[in-house]
Amino acid sequence: MNFLECSPKWTRRPEKERIGADRVEIITESGTDLWARTYYGFQNDNAPVLQIETEEKFFSFIVKTEFESASRFDQCGVAMYLDSDNWFKASIEYENENIQRLGSVVTNHGYSDWATTDISTEIKSMWYRFSRRESDYCIECSEDGVAFRQMRIFHMWEGAEKITYGIYAASPTTGSFKASFSNMEITECRWKSDADWREDET
């Protein structure tokens, strides 16, 4: 199923965006971000998110991101934004001319974490696969859209019933860049269950 055929809606529509038949482009605005309290002590809740709503308990969402980020913390990727205190995002965040941070943030009841790994700034595109099994979730990444590797598994305390999820882009500092999203597909859940793993081992 094509994500864009599901009539996604904006949570905070950006000033500059374009939605085509199979592609979304966002020009980020400086000072936009998603972050809640932990460590830094502040909360920023103004990044644009394009989402669909679902009660489906088992699915995977795949998207390819391409980006021209150049300012610290510029980012774009997948998001599940339930409300200002409960959300998830995964992206590559620009750090400097040498490294970027591939990672994810899980925010439960108003407090965020941040899990990252450093990668080269030569990487200018990344695929993500976001999967749901009831109130548990898995995020994976891939450089070619074929071989995915796990980034993290997590639980959302408010994510057991109806959820909203999709794509986002932000520039927390002074930056502005074009983020492009394509190959947006919703499939059966590709995150293996315990039974699947046990079957593979036999």
pLDDT tens-digit readout, 150-167: 999 999 999 999 999 999
SS3 160: coil
- Neighbouring residues of 82: CB distance < 8 A, sequence distance ≥ 6: 156, 158, 159, 163, 164
Residue 73 burial (10 A CB sphere; 0-12, 13-18, 19+)? middle
- What count of other Cβ atoms lies within 10 Å of the Cβ of residue 105? 22
Q: Domain span at residue 103?
A: 3-201
**Domains in the chain: how many in total?**
1
Q: Is 173 a residue whose pLDDT tops 60?
A: yes
- Cα dist from 139 to 55, 127, 131, whole Å: 19, 11, 6
Question: Which long-range contacts link 156-161 to residues 24+ away (Cβ below 8 Å)?
Answer: 156/80, 156/82, 156/86, 156/88, 156/106, 156/108, 157/86, 157/108, 157/109, 158/82, 158/83, 158/86, 158/108, 158/109, 159/80, 159/82, 159/86, 159/135, 160/134, 160/135, 161/55
Average pLDDT along the chain: 95
Q: What is the pLDDT of residue 193?
A: 79
Q: What residue spans of the chain are helical by DSSP H? A: 194-201
Tens of pLDDT, residue by residue over 25-76, are 999 999 999 999 877 777 899 999 999 999 999 999 999 999 999 999 999 9
Q: Which residues pair with 176 in a beta bridge?
A: none
* CA angle (1 as vertex; 153, 28 as ends), nearest 5: 65
| Strand partners for 88 | 80, 106
What CATH code is carried by the domain that includes residue 44? 2.60.120.200
Token digits of residue 161: 């019933």
